[in-house]
């Protein structure tokens, strides 16, 4: 199944060349490349024109005479493709062996998977200091066939099914130069019943924010886009479930509730003492304690957390009263689950 790789470019000829070279070296199967040149400088323009003329790659080049912003450039690329799979790729990334084949395999493993990210330093999978990216990626490939559900996909490298775009449309251009357009698109996908996942066996390294940081209006644009996103979708909640007193049916209900909340972009913490099996999701975090120190450790984590919980759910009356008495510190609403 063909996948078109869509790469918006604004200057950075050295990074762009590194990215393209890594694709040539590490990608097989049916694919094409669509580069959208957002009014880059002469050096970048010359490189891209030479690349297209070489015919060494299946490449289509779209040149804008003004910088239309990241989101419009992405939409130009999506509209120029008829492939059943599309992969947005930042030009400051380095792909590794088998990256696209693994992402495609994960996408095609289930009809409800609509968006796939690779493993990446962008998502917390970082090589050790001094460890070559290729060597680390080789270790990552041992996870081939595995995936983890995400609260939202990140646009640095984002494989999307064509049928998802048919249902939710292109990226919203209100986000201009970029930031939150990928999260907004992910929310729409989840609303349609799709999942966003990370392909555990694929690896793409990202030189984070090397493009956006050069935009003089970055801070203002970020703040503006955040306000737009939160007006549409609400601020993400931070919710704690304290598994102190419950039965099997209660745990099953809490697991279902937590998945629904996580898919809505909220962050969930489970505080456990019995080795409970909690749903695996990027937005669900398990904090395990031994039984003897469970209440002390849980209270300490809640009271010292920098990003405070909005709600705390608890089973036992005694610990609930204790947390309510400390609400002047943690500021959360305390409820029974």
Answer whether residue 12 shows pLDDT above 60. yes
Place of tokens 């999260």: 183
Whether the pLDDT of residue 5 is over 60: the answer is: yes
- What mean pLDDT is predicted for residues 11-22? 96
Burial 110-137 (b: 16+ CB within 10 A, else e): eeebbbbbbbbbbbebebeeeeebbebb
Dihedral pair phi/psi, residue 146, rounded to 5°: -95, 150
Does 244 score more than 80 pLDDT? yes
User: Which tokens hold the place of 332?
Assistant: 């959360």
3-state helix, strand, coil in the chain (%, to 5): 40, 25, 35
Q: Tens of pLDDT along 283-334?
A: 999 999 999 999 999 999 999 999 999 999 999 999 999 999 999 999 999 9
Mean pLDDT over all residues of the chain? 95
Does residue 215 surpass a pLDDT of 70? no
Q: 195-206 and 93-95: which strand pairing?
A: antiparallel
Give this prediction's pTM: 0.93
d(CA 232, CA 157): 24
Over pLDDT 90: what percentage of the chain?
A: 92
> What is the band of 277 on the pLDDT scale with cuts at 50, 70, 90?
confident
Asked whether residue 37 carries a pLDDT value surpassing 70, the answer given is yes
Q: Is 206 helix (H, G, I), strand (E, B) or coil?
A: strand
Rounded to whole angstroms, the Cα distance separating 37 from 49 reads 10
* Rounded average pLDDT over 261-277: 94
Q: What is the SS3 assignment for 40?
A: coil
What is residue 56's predicted lDDT score, i.e. its pLDDT?
Answer: 75
What pLDDT was estimated at residue 136?
Answer: 98
Question: Within a 13 Å sphere around the CA of 47, how many CA atoms are in the beta-carbon half?
Answer: 20
User: Given the structure tokens 């775009």, which residue do they identify?
Assistant: 165
What is the CB neighbour count within 10 angstroms for residue 238?
Answer: 18
pLDDT reported for residue 7: 98
pLDDT of amino acid 214: 59
The contacts of residue 83 (CB under 8 Å, 6+ apart) are 2, 3, 4, 32, 162
Within 13 A of 222's CA, how many CA atoms are on the CB side?
A: 8
| Residue 130 three-state SS | coil
Q: 124-179, pLDDT tens digit by residue?
A: 999 999 999 999 999 999 999 999 999 999 999 999 999 999 999 999 999 998 99
- In the predicted model, what is the mean pLDDT of residues 220-241? 96
- Say what the pLDDT of residue 210 is: 62
Quick one: tokens of 104? Answer: 């495609």
What's the whole-number mean pLDDT along residues 188-208?
Answer: 96
| Residue 216 reports pLDDT greater than 80 | no
Query: For residue 57, is pLDDT > 90?
Result: no
For 73-111, the pLDDT digits (tens) are 999 999 999 999 999 999 999 999 999 999 999 999 999
Domains of the chain: 3-232 (3.90.550.10), 238-336 (3.40.50)
Helices within the chain (DSSP H only): 13-26, 42-54, 70-79, 99-107, 133-140, 162-168, 181-191, 218-233, 248-263, 294-304, 317-325, 327-330
User: What pLDDT shows up at residue 211?
Assistant: 57
User: Beta-strand (E) ranges in 81-177?
Assistant: 85-89, 93-95, 113-119, 147-150, 157-161
Q: How far apart are CA 303 and CA 310, in angstroms?
A: 12
In DSSP terms, which residues pair with 271 in a beta bridge?
242, 287
pLDDT band of residue 54 (cuts 50, 70, 90) is confident
User: What is the structure's pLDDT at 208?
Assistant: 72
Give, rounded to a whole angstrom, the gap between the first and last alpha carbons of the chain: 46
Q: Average pLDDT in the 270-287 region?
A: 94
Residue 132 dihedral angles phi and psi, to the nearest 5° = -60, 140
């Amino acid at each position: 199944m063909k996948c078109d790789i869509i790469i918006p470019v604004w200057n950075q000829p050295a990074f762009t060349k590194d990215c393209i070279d890594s694709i040539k070296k590490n990608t097989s199967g049916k694919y094409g490349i669509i580069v959208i040149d957002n009014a880059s400088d002469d050096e970048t323009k010359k490189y891209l024109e030479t690349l297209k003329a070489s015919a060494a790659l299946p490449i289509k080049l779209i040149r804008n005479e003004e910088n239309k912003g990241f989101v419009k450039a992405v939409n130009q690329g999506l509209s120029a493709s008829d492939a059943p799979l599309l992969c947005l790729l930042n030009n400051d990334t380095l792909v590794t062996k088998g990256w696209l084949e693994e992402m495609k395999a994960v996408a095609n493993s289930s009809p409800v998977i609509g968006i796939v990210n690779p493993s990446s330093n962008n998502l917390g999978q970082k090589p050790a200091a001094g460890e070559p990216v290729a060597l680390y990626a080789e270790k990552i490939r041992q996870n081939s066939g595995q995936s983890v559900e995400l609260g939202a996909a990140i646009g640095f490298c984002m494989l999307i099914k064509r049928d998802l775009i048919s249902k939710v449309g292109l990226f919203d251009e209100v986000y201009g130069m970029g930031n939150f357009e990928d999260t907004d698109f992910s929310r729409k996908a989840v609303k349609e019943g799709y999942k966003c996942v990370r392909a555990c066996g694929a690896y793409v390294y990202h030189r984070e924010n090397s493009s956006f940081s050069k935009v003089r209006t970055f801070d203002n644009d970020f703040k503006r886009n955040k306000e737009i996103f939160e007006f549409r979708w609400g601020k993400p909640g931070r919710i704690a479930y304290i598994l102190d007193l419950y039965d099997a049916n209660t745990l099953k209900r809490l697991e279902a509730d937590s998945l629904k909340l996580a898919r809505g972009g909220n962050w969930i913490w489970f505080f456990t003492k019995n080795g409970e099996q909690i749903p695996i999701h990027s937005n669900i975090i398990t904090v395990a304690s031994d039984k003897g120190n469970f209440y002390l450790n849980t209270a300490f984590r809640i009271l010292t957390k920098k990003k405070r919980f909005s709600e705390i759910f608890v089973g036992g009356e005694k610990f609930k009263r204790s947390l309510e008495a400390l609400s002047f510190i943690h500021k959360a609403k305390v409820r029974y689950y």
